[in-house]
């Protein structure tokens, strides 16, 4: 079961799994895009759903169990980003991030875990971000919602491990998806996202990491691991992180200008 499957990472994961013969329940708020990407069959079900809706989650999980007899994996992939400094944000922006990114993952984990605990097995993979580890100025609302995802997922994993249910976090750096395009519209706010020396990750990079997560069932998988460690160091020492952030922001702005604004 994969949310946010109509585009980006979700679509890439669903495509690869379908090619391997997995039985899939794919969900997205944009049902037209989902139907354009996939053809429905007995082994590949498509559903429109709002991840912020408790009723939609209950119905989605019930559909999976009725159709396939069990629920082995839940991939909470749906997410949103709206760059902006805090003083330029509105209460609606705050609610938007927290409801989709945090509440959606919490609902998905909750409803899936109830089924999996009864089965005695299951694996929940929650898509986070390196912004769930290190606070990102300019993306404070997004970062805050992903911090919630990380804290919740780690705690839930501890609670569920003796039930045979694994909870893993997959936290990639900047990925070349529609979210990258959105951030390019806000270079000042999103500069830290582009501070990595290498090119942004591709959805194929995330897919390869996803299969590692399926095999190894780690509590947390950072992509790349080097940036993950830098994020953890920056989070562990907030004063140092603030100083480094000013330098790194300049690097990010320079990379945006060199890579994207010449196009």
Active site residues: 142
Distance (Å, rounded) from C-alpha 250 to C-alpha 188?
Answer: 9
CB distance 123 to 166 below 8 Å = yes
Q: What is the residue whose two structure tokens read 């582009």?
A: 194
Distance (Å, rounded) from C-alpha 103 to C-alpha 56?
Answer: 13
What's the Rg (C-alpha) of the chain?
18
């Amino acid at each position: 079961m994969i949310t946010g499957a109509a585009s980006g990472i979700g679509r890439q994961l669903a495509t690869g799994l379908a090619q391997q013969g997995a039985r899939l329940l794919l969900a997205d708020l944009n049902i037209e895009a989902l139907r354009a990407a996939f053809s429905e069959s007995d082994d590949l079900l498509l559903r429109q759903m709002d991840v912020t809706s408790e009723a939609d989650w209950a119905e989605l999980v019930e559909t999976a169990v009725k159709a396939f007899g069990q629920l082995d994996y839940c991939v909470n992939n749906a997410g949103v980003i709206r760059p902006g400094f805090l003083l330029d944000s509105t209460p609606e922006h705050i609610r938007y991030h927290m409801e989709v990114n945090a509440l959606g993952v919490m609902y998905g984990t909750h409803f899936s875990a109830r089924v999996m605990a009864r089965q005695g097995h299951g694996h929940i993979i929650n898509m986070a971000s390196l912004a769930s580890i290190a606070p990102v100025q300019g993306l404070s609302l997004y970062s805050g919602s992903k911090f919630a995802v990380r804290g919740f997922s780690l705690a839930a994993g501890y609670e569920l491990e003796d039930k045979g249910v694994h909870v893993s976090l997959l936290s990639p750096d900047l990925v070349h998806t529609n979210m990258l395009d959105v951030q390019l519209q806000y270079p000042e706010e999103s500069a830290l996202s582009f501070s990595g020396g290498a090119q942004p990750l591709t959805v194929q990079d995330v897919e390869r990491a996803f299969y590692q997560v399926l095999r190894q069932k780690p509590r947390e998988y950072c992509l790349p691991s080097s940036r993950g460690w830098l994020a953890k160091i920056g989070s562990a020492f907030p004063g140092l992180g603030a100083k480094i952030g000013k330098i790194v922001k300049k690097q990010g702005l320079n990379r945006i200008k060199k890579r994207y604004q010449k196009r």
